[in-house]
Amino acid sequence: MISESVSVDRQARLLDGRPIAAALRDETADRLDRFRAETGMVPGLAIVLATADPASQVYSDRLVKTGRKLGFDCRVEAVEPATPATVHARIERLNRDDSVDGILVQMPLPAPMSVTDIATVISPQKDVDGISSVNVGRVAMGFPAFPPATPLGGFELLRRYGIPIAGQYCVVVGRSNVVGRPFASLMLGANATVTICHRRTPDLARFTRQADIVALAAGQPGLLTGDMIKPGAIVVDFGTTPTDDGLKGDADFESVARVASWLTPVPGGTGPMTNVVVLRQTLEAAFLRRGLQEE
């Protein structure tokens, strides 16, 4: 059990995403140099922006900036007016565009469109945020795939902080196809025993109190409190809800930090990992499309 040596009074250590994201950026820059040397080409990422949502615009611009700094050819593809037909047409064009290795469709799509409308349109080989039905299926089957960037980033955080996963009991709160479900698949693939909880789970604490690792992907600030976990549990919080007091995770940070051994801060935990994982997967897609192996 992970919790044996951890006292109840202990302040949790932070699973800080910033230094890990920085290390991943450096590794990606090194591999990109190798790709350029081998192919004479620059990997390309296209971000499909089909919404006027200002937060999505900010996220896209930030991803473009990070990508360009690392040497990617990144661009935003704004689709206006955004209808299922125009979004499909743009994705299909990008599927055929040889300069594009990765396609990220910025969420949320404008209602009534949803991820299911594009899940079969985006080429699985360019689907660097793991939303296509092929990638979702491959992740669930434990096959090589591009998992969605957010859960893969959280998984990578655990691995790089040396948190044992095999044999641990992991409770995931949330079952969306973009966060909860793929995170559960990744943990299962790494030999954790996994339970997924959702809104219809009666008595959530009955499950979370038994968990060695609790992953939160509900979008409900304060959902998990310190009395709902066992001493020494590890808490990975994917929740990011804008509130009057800033961005909030699903954990009640104060009370959970008194009981957990490790906890992701919000912001600064899983969030910083997402962009760099998208870029990392874009580079991987670029290698794979040319039949090249990364070392």
Q: In angstroms, what is the minimal distance from the CB of 200 to ligand NAP?
A: 5
Cis preceding-peptide flag for 43 (omega within 30 of 0): no
Looking at the Cβ atoms of 261 and 274, the one nearer to ligand NAP is 274
Q: In angstroms, what is the minimal distance from the CB of 155 to ligand NAP?
A: 12
Looking at the Cβ atoms of 93 and 198, the one nearer to ligand NAP is 198
Q: Which among 29-37, 123-131, 200-208, 252-260 is the span making contact with ligand NAP, rule CB under 6 A?
A: 200-208
Looking at the Cβ atoms of 42 and 163, the one nearer to ligand NAP is 163
| Residue 179 binding ligand NAP, by CB under 6 A | yes
| Residue 96 binding ligand NAP, by CB under 6 A | no
Identify the residue among 71, 164, 189, 219 touching ligand NAP (CB under 6 A): 219
3-state secondary structure labels for all residues of 60-98: HHHHHHHHHHHCCEEEEEECCCCCHHHHHHHHHHHHHCC
Looking at the Cβ atoms of 189 and 267, the one nearer to ligand NAP is 267
Site for ligand NAP in 232-271 (CB under 6 A): 238-241, 270-271
Identify the residue among 150, 168, 208, 261 touching ligand NAP (CB under 6 A): 150
Can you say how many angstroms the Cα of residue 71 is from the centroid of all Cα atoms in its chain?
22
Q: In angstroms, what is the minimal distance from the CB of 114 to ligand NAP?
A: 10
Identify the residue among 103, 109, 113, 173 touching ligand NAP (CB under 6 A): 173
Q: In angstroms, what is the minimal distance from the CB of 192 to ligand NAP?
A: 19
Residues forming the site for ligand NAP (CB under 6 A): 150, 173-176, 178-180, 197-201, 204, 217-220, 223, 238-241, 270-271, 274
